Amino acid sequence: VNAVIVMDGDGEDRPDDLKPLMNAYHDCGSEKIIVAKREKRSEGLLFRTSYLIYKLIFKVLTGHKMGFGNFCLIPARQLSRLIYKDTLWNHFSATVLHSKAPIRMVSTERGERIDGMPLMNFTGLVIHGLSSISVFVDQVLVRTIVFLTCSMLICLFLGILGMVLASISPEFIPGIYYFDLITTAFVFLILSLVTYVLILSLSRRSQKMVIPAEDIEIYIKNVETAFDRQPDT
């Protein structure tokens, strides 16, 4: 096997786009994972707006840019980066980013659905988006801790500044610095909680995970061959 192609079978991932993916695969010397990036989307305004908000949140929390889905071509030498990651079950494209494998994007357009309507509702889409962020849970928690620490220090500084101003100026309202100190204590409690969650998340690394390469047979009911491999001529 030289490469593996991942695509949906509902028609939205067009077979016609396999050729540019293959061309990019050969241009990269079989080194990069070739992912399909949809330049034009046919969904409604609400979905597109929600998707842009999701990508912004994903970028802020993880530091990565999410711009592709499941449709991709994976060279054989890059497969091991993915099939031994336990997050592959959770979110495929986020795991591709998390693997730090080299990626090349190829512009594609969304095809027409063969039959039926998408079963994913708004709640399912939100869960799907949160699943992608959860792949980077360690980075998200660290960024949250940094943000909370900076916020706590700013509130503490403002509280101390308020106390100083109140002591030298009788016209200064003392309740303001009390509010800053209460806010500082509240942020500190949240910071402690997030730090605790991060420690729990890091402790998962010592536990037995469900690895696709090792446990895949449990989840496969049967395998059917759609087309026999033609002998090389």
- Range scoring the smallest mean pLDDT among 14-23, 76-85, 110-119, 212-221: 110-119
Query: With contact defined as beta carbons under 8 Å apart, do 71 and 10 qualify?
Result: no
Give the sheet arrangement for strand 103-109, strand by strand: 3-6, 72-75, 33-40, 103-109
Extents of the domains making up the chain: 3-135, 138-206
Mean pLDDT for the chain? 83
What is the average pLDDT across 127-137? 89
Query: Which of 6-15, 86-95, 151-160 has the lowest average pLDDT?
Result: 151-160
81's tokens: 């980066």
Structure tokens at 108: 């594609």
Each residue of 45-69: pLDDT tens digit? Answer: 777 788 889 999 999 989 999 889 8
**Terminal-to-terminal C-alpha distance of the chain:** 17
With both helix axes pointing from N to C terminus, report the angle between 137-168 and 175-203 in degrees, rounded to the nearest 10: 160
Q: Are 31 and 77 in contact (CB under 8 A)?
A: yes
The pLDDT of residue 118: 66
Tokens at 111, concatenated? 């095809």
Give strand pairing partners of 5.
Answer: 73
How many CB atoms neighbour CB 205 within 10 A?
Answer: 8
Predicted pLDDT at 119? 65
pLDDT value at position 35? Answer: 94
Provide the pLDDT for residue 113. Answer: 80
- Would the pLDDT of 92 be above 90? yes
Contact 33, 25 (CB under 8 A): no
Please report, for the chain, how many H helices and E strands are present, in that order. 8, 4
Q: What percent of the chain has pLDDT over 90?
A: 22
Q: What pLDDT, on the 0 to 100 scale, is given for residue 43?
A: 65
Q: Determine the pLDDT at residue 114.
A: 78
pLDDT at 5 exceeding the cut of 70: yes
pLDDT bucket at 190, cuts 50 / 70 / 90? confident
For the cut 60, the answer to whether the pLDDT of residue 233 exceeds it is no
